[in-house]
Amino acid sequence: MALLEITKLSKHFGGLAAVSELDLQVEEGEILGLIGPNGAGKTTLFNVISGVYRPTSGKIIFNGEDITGLKPSMIAKKGLVRTFQATTLFDEFTVLANVLIGFHPHAGIAIWGALVGTPATRQREAALVQQAMEILDLMGIAHLKDELATSLPHGHQRCLGIAIAMAANPKLLLLDEPVTGMSREETAMVMATIRKIREQKGLTIIVVEHNMRAAMGLSDRMVVLNYGRKIAEGSPQEISENPEVIEAYLGAERYAA
Considering only the stretches 40-48, 61-69, 137-145, 153-161, report the one whose residues sit in contact with ligand ATP under the rule CB under 6 A: 40-48
* The Cα angle at residue 214 between residues 248 and 249, in degrees rounded to 5: 10
Out of 26, 40, 132, 239, the residue judged to bind ligand ATP by CB under 6 A: 40
User: Does 44 help bind ligand ATP (rule: CB under 6 A)?
Assistant: yes
Give the residue closest to Mg ion by C-beta: 43
The verdict on 236 binding ligand ATP (CB under 6 A) reads no
User: Which of 13, 27, 109, 184 lies at the binding interface for ligand ATP (CB under 6 A)?
Assistant: 13
Edge to edge, what strands does the sheet with 31-35 contain? 80-82, 172-176, 204-208, 31-35, 221-226, 229-234
Q: How far apart are CA 225 and CA 248, in angstroms?
A: 9
Name which position in 9, 24, 43, 163 contacts ligand ATP (CB under 6 A). 43
What b/e string do you get for 184-208 counting C-beta neighbours within 10 Å, with b at 16 or more? eebbebbbebbeebbeebebbbbbb
* Of 234, 256, 18, 25, the residue nearest 245 (C-alpha): 234
Interaction site with Mg ion (CB under 5 A): 42-43
Which range in 37-45, 94-102, 118-126, 240-248 contacts ligand ATP by CB under 6 A?
Answer: 37-45
Identify whether the C-beta of residue 32 lies closer than 8 Å to the C-beta of residue 235: no
- Least distance in angstroms from the C-beta of 154 to ligand ATP: 17
Q: Quick check: 36 binds ligand ATP (CB under 6 A)?
A: yes
> Are 57 and 148 a contacting pair, CB within 8 Å?
no
Contacting residues for 237 by C-beta, under 8 A, at least 6 apart: none
Kindly tell me which of 45 and 141 has the beta carbon lying closer to Mg ion.
Answer: 45
Q: Is 211 in the site for ligand ATP (CB under 6 A)?
A: no
Per CB under 6 A, 68 contacts ligand ATP = no
Helix (H, G, I), strand (E, B) or coil at 21: strand
> Considering beta carbons, is residue 18 or 67 the nearer one to ligand ATP?
18
The contact set with ligand ATP (CB under 6 A) reads 13, 16, 18, 36, 38-44
